Amino acid sequence: MSLVIYRTSQGRIFEYFVIFSLIALASAGAAVFLGGQFAQARDAQRIGDIGTLRNALELYRVDHGAYPSVPSATSVDASWGVLEETLRPYISLIPQDPINKMSEEGAAPFVYGYYSAKKRDTADTVVRGPDNYVITFRLEKPEKAFRHSAINIGVVTTHGFSSPLELTDSAGVYLVRAP
């Protein structure tokens, strides 16, 4: 005599519930892990973009004796196109932030900014273009981005601190000044 076990539909429903719960739990864990990895990848791209933009600005300065005379430009409006046209011989497309969008009121935006200015020198009688610039950008995970970066992007400051070792700004907003 053999023993036959019949499955009930309630047993199958419970098994499916357990399986789907495990899949959902694994998916949530993967999303949390990968979310941080994507942010680090965007930060690495930002650091590379800033280095590329600095190279183009330095090539422009070598040829023209000054930096581009664009008082201010941000990567989310038409002013970025003016800077892009100015630097076209040195770079085909000016990079934009991977997110490239303004944020809510009070939070720093994920955009690149370029600001040029002429240092005030009363002894300088020759009229030239700007001899100084600042590039602004924001990192999502600043504590990890610079620790693993071998790219020297110049003097990086966080709200007035000019030491590249003090990169612990909680907002992740940085300035790169002309050398």
User: Does residue 5 fall inside a structural domain?
Assistant: no
Structure tokens at 133: 């610039």
User: Does residue 129 fall inside a structural domain?
Assistant: yes
User: Does residue 1 fall inside a structural domain?
Assistant: no
- Structural domain harbouring 27: 11-177
pLDDT tens string 64-98: 988 888 877 777 777 888 888 999 999 988 888 88
- Is 50 exceeded by the pLDDT of residue 127? yes
Interstrand relation of 156-157 and 173-177 (parallel, antiparallel or unpaired): antiparallel
Mean pLDDT over residues 127-141, rounded?
76
Tally of structural domains, the chain: 1
Mean pLDDT over residues 1-28, rounded?
74
Identify which of 105, 177, 164, 170 has the alpha carbon closest to the alpha carbon of residue 139: 170
pLDDT at 16: 83
Whether 36 and 144 have beta carbons less than 8 Å apart is answered as: no
If DSSP codes are grouped into helix, strand and coil, which group holds residue 73? strand
User: Does residue 65 fall inside a structural domain?
Assistant: yes
Mean pLDDT of the chain: 72
% of the chain with per-residue pLDDT over 90:
7
Instruction: Select the more confidently predicted residue: 28 or 153.
Output: 28
User: Does residue 2 fall inside a structural domain?
Assistant: no
Whether 179 and 154 have beta carbons less than 8 Å apart is answered as: yes
User: Does residue 90 fall inside a structural domain?
Assistant: yes
DSSP E strands, the chain: 72-74, 113-117, 132-138, 156-157, 173-177
Question: Considering the entire predicted model, what is its pTM?
Answer: 0.65
For residue 170, the one-letter residue type is S
- Is 50 exceeded by the pLDDT of residue 157? no
Q: What is the dihedral of CA 128, 94, 136, 164, to 10 degrees?
A: -90
Residue partners of 111: CB distance under 8 A and separation at least 6? 74, 75, 76, 96, 97, 100, 101, 102, 137, 138
